[in-house]
């Protein structure tokens, strides 16, 4: 039994307006998502060729005129992160030299976002470096979903539209009946309290927080669980699942201390290393994620349900192009 793709709850444009000057392009990172965004907008995905020379250098060719147009580039900088990031930078340079009027980078997933501060002496702040490179390459604006740290918006000197995946997850959980169950939303750490609180308010349920310490990267120890979760269905929500060690440790602690069931939700399904095996063999009953990162067939386990972000991204693009408000999409979420 493979992964299920949940029916998308569409965001319907308020009115049909001229999008003839909007051009939508995509690199190789996630063309399937880009095609679905184009379908939401009712336009075609414009043509761009991305190949590699024999030594691995990336070669970009824009196959149609972009002069004077409003260009949107869809490219999550997911694995292989260095390739997808470099491809994005070269695409930006190509469109800058092709005289595009404006170039908006749509990064459903912002790679290197976890390196947003110095935690030890002589460490880089790579999230800032990536922001500098994107701007230097020519980006006029950036769109991202659930940045690992919201302060990354301040690393850019151009406008950043920060989209939230929580409402998509919340709507699906309501459709699945979690609003009728004895449910509690759980943050896997103190840093994710705001996200858990917002989802709990959407479901009209209480929330709890796991206090933990990290002895080393991707290793966690649960110290305490704050809140009433015993004999309840626990919905753990995080911005991403990488190796899964952190969130699975939280799920095991919840079950060991009296939770009835644990489901996991995330925006970014990084799923690196032992993540898929860990999820499959874990106490977690179901996993919900957005499609900000492509999920290969080998990682599509039966517990996984993928929720589409295409309408959210498409509506944000439409509003940016038409100079309409993007923040109104989340006025009941923050």
Where do the domains of the chain lie, and which CATH numbers do they carry? 4-164+311-330 (3.40.50.2020), 166-307 (3.40.50.2020)
Mean pLDDT calculated for residue range 125-143: 98
Residues in a beta bridge with 49? 61
User: What's the pLDDT score for residue 1?
Assistant: 44
Tell me the pTM.
Answer: 0.92
Q: Name every residue whose Cβ is closer than 8 Å to that of residue 72 and which is 6 or more positions away in sequence.
A: 22, 23, 24, 25, 104, 106, 317, 320, 321
- Cα–Cα distance measured from residue 266 to residue 306, given in angstroms and rounded to the nearest whole number: 10
Please tell me the predicted confidence (pLDDT) of residue 218.
55
In this predicted structure, what is the pLDDT of residue 246?
87
* Residue 217 scores a pLDDT above 70: no
Q: Extract the tokens encoding 58.
A: 């990336």
Considering the chain, what percentage of its residues have pLDDT values greater than 70? Answer: 93
Residue 13 has pLDDT above 80, yes or no: no
With bands split at pLDDT 50, 70 and 90, how would you rate the model's confidence at 213? confident
Q: Name the band, by pLDDT with cuts 50, 70 and 90, for residue 334.
A: low
**Neighbour-count burial for 114-151, b at 16+ CB within 10 Å, e otherwise:** ebbeeeeeeeeeebbebbeebbebbbbbbbbbbbbbee
**Active-site entry in 205, 212, 232, 303:** 212
Q: Is 212 a catalytic residue?
A: yes
pLDDT band at 119 (very low <50, low <70, confident <90, very high): confident
Confidence of residue 203 (pLDDT cuts 50, 70, 90): very high
Structure tokens at 137: 């390459």
Q: Is the pLDDT at 299 greater than 90, yes or no?
A: yes
pLDDT surpasses 90 at 191:
no
Termini Cα distance of the chain:
36
Q: pLDDT at position 332, please? A: 78
Q: What is the pLDDT of residue 87?
A: 98
């Amino acid at each position: 039994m493979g992964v299920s793709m949940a029916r998308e709850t569409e965001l319907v444009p308020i009115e049909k307006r001229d999008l003839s000057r909007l051009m939508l392009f995509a690199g190789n990172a996630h063309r399937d998502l880009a095609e679905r965004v184009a379908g939401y907008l009712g336009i075609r995905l414009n043509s761009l060729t991305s190949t590699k020379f024999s030594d691995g250098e990336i070669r970009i060719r824009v196959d149609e005129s972009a002069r004077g147009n409003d260009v949107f580039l869809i490219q999550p900088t997911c694995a292989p992160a260095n390739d997808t990031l470099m491809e994005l930078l070269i695409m930006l340079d190509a469109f800058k030299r092709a005289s595009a009027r404006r170039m908006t980078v749509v990064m459903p997933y912002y790679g290197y976002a976890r390196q947003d501060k110095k935690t030890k002496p002589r460490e880089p702040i790579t999230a800032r470096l990536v922001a500098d490179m994107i701007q230097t390459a020519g980006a006029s604006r950036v769109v991202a979903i659930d940045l690992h740290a919201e302060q990354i918006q301040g690393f850019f000197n151009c406008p950043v539209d920060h989209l939230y995946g929580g409402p998509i997850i919340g709507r699906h959980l309501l459709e699945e009946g979690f609003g009728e169950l004895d449910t509690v939303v759980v943050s896997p750490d103190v840093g994710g309290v705001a996200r858990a609180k917002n989802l709990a308010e959407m479901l009209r349920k209480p929330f709890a927080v796991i206090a933990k310490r990290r002895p080393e990267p991707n290793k966690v120890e649960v110290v305490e669980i704050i809140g009433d979760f015993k004999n309840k269905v626990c919905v753990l929500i995080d911005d991403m699942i990488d190796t899964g060690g952190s969130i699975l440790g939280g799920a095991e602690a919840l079950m060991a201390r009296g939770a009835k069931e644990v489901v996991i939700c995330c925006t970014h399904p990084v799923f690196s290393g032992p993540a898929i095996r860990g999820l499959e063999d874990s106490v977690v009953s179901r996993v919900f994620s957005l499609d900000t990162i492509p999920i290969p067939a080998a990682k599509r386990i039966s517990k996984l349900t993928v929720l589409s972000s295409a309408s959210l991204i498409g509506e944000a693009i439409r509003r940016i192009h038409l100079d309409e408000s993007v923040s109104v999409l989340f006025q009941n979420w923050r």
